[in-house]
Structure formats: structure tokens, C-alpha cells
């Protein structure tokens, strides 16, 4: 199978279900952002090859979740595609699994009383990038949910919690690298602490 088809050379692509749409269609933007997020997580995993602080198995499961979310966004009729076995069903329990993971890491992290500046060690900084890509994907999905309310049932809560997880993972990775949170202090507090 060739990697190129030339089918998109005129600025269109085909959704799962055979409908041709422009590449700037909101559905394409949404699943494109989810794909970008998946790649950003993949880079965080690559930066953390030693498995020093990231649970690679859990993050690989998140990557699989994101493929399922992308398939639902790309499908003309997700319900029909699930019934035919073309794409997997979305599991609402996955949001709870993310919450449990967040809670586990939070027990090891210092409490927050300020905004955290993105950065730190390479893995932590990349997880902050992934978090911001996740928020962009979430915004694109919110736009779609206006016409596809089913996205609000499982996909939006999952993406919202995933952003929280990525934030916590960034803090966790930095803590394990011996780098504390670099916080942003509003001007009033900076003056008080000076």
C-alpha cells in the first residue's frame, strides 16, 4: 500500500463513512488536534525512555484512547461505525481512570497556591506542551458538540480530565527530575515577597 494517494491534493479529505470534506472542516480540525496531541504525548514518552517517572503503559493506553476519540470525530455516523465494528466504542470509565491516576500523583506533589509556569526538565516541559495541545483539541470538540451533542457525554469530560492529567504529569516529571514548580506570582504578591 502506498503512503500517498494524491486524493487530498485539492484540499479535501474523506471522512470515515465516505463523505468528502475540505481539509479545514471543523471535524478535520478536531481530529487533527487530537492527532497532534497524541504525537506530543509520544514525544514525552521518547524523552522519558528510562521510565524514570512516567508510567509508559498508562500513557500508551491514553494514546489508544486518543485514536478512538479521533475515529469518533472522523466518522460520519459514529454509532453505525461502532455497531459495524469499524471503530471501538468509547468507554466512559476511562475518565475515572484518569482521575485515579491524578489522585495518585497528587499525593506525592506539594500543594499548589499559584499558577505554574510551563517548563522544567525536558519531559515535564513536553507534557506542558501536550496539555496546551489537549486544550486546543478540547476547544475544537466543543465547537463540534454544538451539532453533535453526543460528544459532550464521554469525549469532552475525557479531554478535560486528560488536560488535568497532563498538567499533573508535568509537575510529577519535574519533581522526579529534582525541579520544583516555577510559579507565576501576580504583581501584588511579587511586591509583598520582595
Tens digits of per-residue pLDDT, 92-130? 999 999 999 999 999 999 998 889 999 999 999 999 999
Distance CA 86, CA 178 (A): 45
Query: 96: which residues sit within 8 A by CB, 6+ positions away?
Result: none
What end-to-end distance do the CA atoms of the chain give, in Å? Answer: 64
Average pLDDT, the chain: 91
Distance CA 167, CA 130 (A): 9
Distance CA 172, CA 74 (A): 33
The answer to the question of residue 4 being in a domain is no
Query: 146: which residues sit within 8 A by CB, 6+ positions away?
Result: none
Output the pTM of the full model.
0.90
Confidence of residue 58 (pLDDT cuts 50, 70, 90): very high
Strand partners, 115: 184
The pLDDT score that the predictor gives to residue 21 is 84
The answer to the question of residue 2 being in a domain is no
The pLDDT tens digits of the residues spanning 5-23 come to 887 887 888 888 888 887 8
Distance CA 57, CA 174 (A): 19
Count of residues making up the chain: 194
Comparing 3 with 41, which gets the higher pLDDT?
A: 41
Query: 99: which residues sit within 8 A by CB, 6+ positions away?
Result: 161
The answer to the question of residue 35 being in a domain is yes
The answer to the question of residue 45 being in a domain is yes
Q: What is the mean pLDDT of residues 150-173?
A: 96
- CATH value at residue 34: 1.20.1200.10
Distance CA 35, CA 84 (A): 23
Q: What does the block give as the cell for 13?
A: 479529505
The answer to the question of residue 3 being in a domain is no
Contact yes or no for 141/151 (Cβ under 8 A): yes
The answer to the question of residue 160 being in a domain is yes
The answer to the question of residue 7 being in a domain is no
Whether residue 52 has pLDDT greater than 80:
no
Q: What does the block give as the cell for 169?
A: 504529569
Q: Which residue has the cell 487533527?
A: 32
The answer to the question of residue 6 being in a domain is no
Query: Residue 58 sits in which domain range?
Result: 12-193
The pLDDT score that the predictor gives to residue 190 is 58
- Number of domains into which the chain is organized: 1
The pLDDT score that the predictor gives to residue 51 is 62
Amino acid at each position: 500500500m502506498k503512503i500517498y494517494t494524491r486524493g487530498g491534493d485539492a484540499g479535501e479529505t474523506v471522512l470515515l463513512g465516505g463523505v468528502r470534506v475540505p481539509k479545514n472542516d471543523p471535524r478535520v480540525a478536531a481530529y487533527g488536534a487530537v492527532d497532534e496531541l497524541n504525537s506530543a504525548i509520544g514525544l514525552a514518552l521518547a524523552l522519558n525512555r528510562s521510565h524514570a517517572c512516567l508510567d509508559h503503559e498508562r500513557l500508551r493506553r491514553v494514546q489508544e484512547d486518543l485514536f478512538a476519540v479521533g475515529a469518533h470525530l472522523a466518522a460520519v455516523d459514529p454509532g453505525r461505525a461502532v455497531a459495524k465494528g469499524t471503530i471501538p466504542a468509547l468507554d466512559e470509565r476511562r475518565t475515572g481512570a484518569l482521575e485515579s491516576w491524578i489522585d495518585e500523583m497528587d499525593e506525592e506533589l506539594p500543594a499548589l497556591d499559584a499558577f505554574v509556569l510551563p517548563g522544567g526538565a525536558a519531559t515535564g516541559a513536553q507534557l506542558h506542551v501536550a496539555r496546551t495541545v489537549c486544550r486546543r483539541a478540547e476547544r475544537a470538540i466543543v465547537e463540534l458538540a454544538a451539532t453533535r451533542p453526543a460528544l459532550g457525554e464521554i469525549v469532552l469530560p475525557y479531554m478535560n480530565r486528560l488536560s488535568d492529567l497532563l498538567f499533573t504529569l508535568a509537575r510529577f516529571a519535574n519533581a522526579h527530575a529534582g525541579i520544583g514548580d516555577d510559579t507565576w506570582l501576580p504583581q501584588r504578591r511579587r511586591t509583598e515577597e520582595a
